[in-house]
Amino acid sequence: MQLKIVAKYKRREYNKIGKLEKEIERLKAKPKDYTYEEAKTLLNKLGFYENNKGRTSGSRVEFCNEKIQKIEIHKPHPSNILKPYQIKIILDNLKEWEVI
């Protein structure tokens, strides 16, 4: 019985790692339809949290982690699709800090 539980847990853990890798690969592919919500979800999984820079910040947001590393971008509007330069900012910072 215990072996089945451990095997089930390991399988779930493996699936999570695979899913994170797929999300990272999607970001690296720089797709034309990459959404802000996808970026937010991925950055949360990598240890970053969204910080609205205050009431007067408008659409500017920053994603911070415990190491005080910041990624600043504008929320896309009216659509939810990130611009290619925004994806590049995210990728460059994550690669520079050796997160991915």
β-strand partners of 49? 64
Whether pLDDT at 4 is above 70: no
95 phi-psi bin (left φ>0, alpha ψ -120 to 50, beta other): alpha
Q: pLDDT tens digit string along 28-83? A: 999 999 999 999 999 999 999 998 776 767 788 999 999 889 999 999 988 999 99
In the block, tokens 């009431």 appear at 55
- Quick one: pLDDT at residue 100? 87
Range of 53's domain? 2-96
Q: How far apart are CA 73 and CA 60, in angstroms?
A: 6
Task: Note whether 16 and 24 are within 8 A (CB).
Answer: no
- Quick one: pLDDT at residue 80? 93
Count of domains observed in the chain: 1
Whether pLDDT at 1 is above 50: no
Distances (CA, A) of 20 to 28, 39, 44, 100: 12, 12, 11, 11
